[in-house]
Amino acid sequence: MGKKIAVTGYSGPKVRSDCEVTLELRIKGGITIDLTSKVRVLYGESIKTLCREMMDFFRIRHAKITINDTGALPFVIAARIEAAVNMLQVTEEYLPEMIRENTYSTTKDRFRFSRLYLPGNSPGLMINAGLHSSDGIILDLEDSVAPVKKDEARILVRNALRQIDFRGAERMVRINQGEEGIRDLRSVIPHNVNMILIPKCESREQVVKVNNEIGTIRKKYKIKDQVLLMPIIESALGIENSFEIAKASENVASLAIGLEDYTADLGVPRTIEGKESFYARTRLISAAKAAGIQPVDSVFSDVLDMEGLRQSVQNSKALGFEGMGCIHPRQIAIINAGFTPDTQEIEKSKKIVIAYDEALKQGLGVVALGSKMIDMPVVTRARKTITLAVRTGKLPADWKNEFIASGN
């Protein structure tokens, strides 16, 4: 037999809402639990009960479990314990309840203005993430997780997907590259992931491989809801192949650009004005639009520079991007406001929707606004703009009455 002691999780003066679990398998002596916890008085017994239940579940009869807890929620403690067991023996999955709120699905054409990145092994940032009204929440298994912590993070992210209410935000996971990424999919796909982010995507084949694996998992678990894909282009080669990537599967809904890695690939520093990535961004936008999907921008990395962010969102929108990544919840409101349609767009959309209604009423096959013919997708987009304008309070729900009353 190999090693008998496993340590998972985190503790220390700066750690909050997490715990460190040390599991030592023994050959006799039953289960002993050594708990140090900030919340011992309030939750000591329930933490110990959870430990015993889990040891039972894993059929471990003799072990010493040492827990150093800074207020971890039960799904976090469970993830840390399971990860420790996992390091010592082959295990089944110990799944916390899938809460009812977490069963929603997504659609390809929904807005993706803001997507909030959360490090996949930091539970403290996850619990309230849904309160900040981002369109998507990304549980990241890739760059924010240390290589030795990948297994642990997968379990934590899986539990988070089952237990945390993200309040309607699109449930996204950024997987790792290559085989590690395939392992990620097997852990998370059965737990209602709406969208998978594929990092450092350079070829059509990468997307197909991920998509096929998801297909296999969906079949195995009889998952009906679709799982969408957002390839992230982060290299010169990826940019050159971006149209192919965008068209790789029906499930690709957005194409994102990752500028830190891209500029590194070019061997130039990333600047705020972004001249060095202008070609890449416009090329990617064009490829995405050509494929009929959303191009979405990279993250703005200075979380204190709100004015800089506002500028960056404006530039991004002007180029044709339809969303941006967030690394701090405070960025969400600015990004959402930036990509929300402005008055001009709303006015135009109102006219298109009314013209369409009129055409329908009169049984006309074609919709025209003035002398200009309007395609169906334009109507669809105008409706989306209107829906969003209503949703963001920029337009009253009964705007049509007002529109007609005002003699427009």
Partner 1 sequence: MAIRTVINAAGRQVPLEINGQRVIPFRGVGKHLPDGRKYAPPIPSCISYPADGNKVVESLEEALVKCGIRNGMTISTHHHLRDGDLISNRIFDIASALGIRDLVWLPSASFPCNDPVIKYLEDGTINRIEGSMNGPLGRFVSEGKMKGTAVLRSHGGRVQAIQDGEVKIDIAVLVAPSADYFGNARGTGGNSSCGVIGYAKTDSMYASKVIVVTDNLVDMPCFPMEIEGNYVDYVVVVDKIGIPEKIISGTTEITRSPDRLLIAELTASFLERSGILKDGVTMQAGAGGTSLAIAVFVHDIMKKKGWKSKFGFGGSTKYMVKMLEEGQMDYILDAQAFDLDAVRSIEKNPGHIPYPVFNAYNYHSKGNLTSMMDIMILGATEIDIEFNGNVVTHSDGYLLHGIGGWQNCLQARNVILPVPLFRDRIPVIVDRVTTLCGPGELIDVIITERGIAINPLRKDLIKSVKGSGLPLRTLKELKDEAEKICGKPEKPEFDDRIVAAIKWIDGTVIDVVRKIHTE
72 binds partner 1 (CB under 8 A): yes
131 binds partner 1 (CB under 8 A): yes
Output 132 or 191, the one with its CB closest to partner 1.
132
CB of 165 to partner 1, least distance (A): 9
Stretch that binds partner 1, among 28-36, 44-52, 241-249, 254-262 (CB under 8 A): 44-52
46 binds partner 1 (CB under 8 A): yes
Summary count for the chain: helices (H), strands (E): 15, 14
Stretch that binds partner 1, among 42-50, 238-246, 254-262, 286-294 (CB under 8 A): 42-50
Give the contact letters, 6-25, x = binds to partner 1 (CB under 8 A), - = no: ----------xx--------
Rg value, the chain, Cα:
24
* Partners of 116 in beta bridges: 137, 326
Backbone angles phi, psi at 211, to 5 degrees: -60, -40
Q: Are 85 and 60 in contact (CB under 8 A)?
A: yes
Q: Are 260 and 222 in contact (CB under 8 A)?
A: no
Output 117 or 321, the one with its CB closest to partner 1.
117
Stretch that binds partner 1, among 36-44, 168-176, 369-377, 394-402 (CB under 8 A): 36-44
**What token pair was written down for 12?**
């220390």
Output 43 or 166, the one with its CB closest to partner 1.
43
How far is C-alpha 50 from the geometric centre of its chain's CA atoms? 29
Could you tell me how many residues of this chain bind partner 1 (CB under 8 A)? Answer: 24
Among 32, 128, 216, 392, binds partner 1 (CB under 8 A): 128
Give the contact letters, 386-405, x = binds to partner 1 (CB under 8 A), - = no: -------x------------
CB of 16 to partner 1, least distance (A): 5
How far is C-alpha 155 from the geometric centre of its chain's CA atoms? 16
* Near partner 1 in 265-304, by CB under 8 A: none
* Near partner 1 in 174-193, by CB under 8 A: none
Q: Among all chains, which residue has been given the structure tokens 């999955």?
A: 93
Among 80, 112, 115, 132, binds partner 1 (CB under 8 A): 132
b/e string for 28-57 if b means 16 or more Cβ within 10 A?
A: eeebebebebeeeeebeeebbebbeebbeb
CB of 164 to partner 1, least distance (A): 9
Return all residues near 52 (Cβ < 8 A) that are at least 6 apart.
Answer: 31, 33
Helix (H) or strand (E) holding 338: helix 330-339
Output 73 or 81, the one with its CB closest to partner 1.
73
Q: Which of 170, 274, 180, 318 is nearest to 230 (CA)?
A: 170
Helix (H) or strand (E) holding 158: helix 150-163
**What token pair was written down for 220?**
């195995």
Where would I find the beta strands (DSSP E) of 201-293? 228-233, 254-257
Stretch that binds partner 1, among 57-65, 125-133, 181-189, 369-377 (CB under 8 A): 125-133
Output 70 or 194, the one with its CB closest to partner 1.
70
* Near partner 1 in 320-339, by CB under 8 A: 328-330
What residues line the site for partner 1 (CB under 8 A)?
16-17, 38-46, 70-74, 127-128, 131-132, 328-330, 393
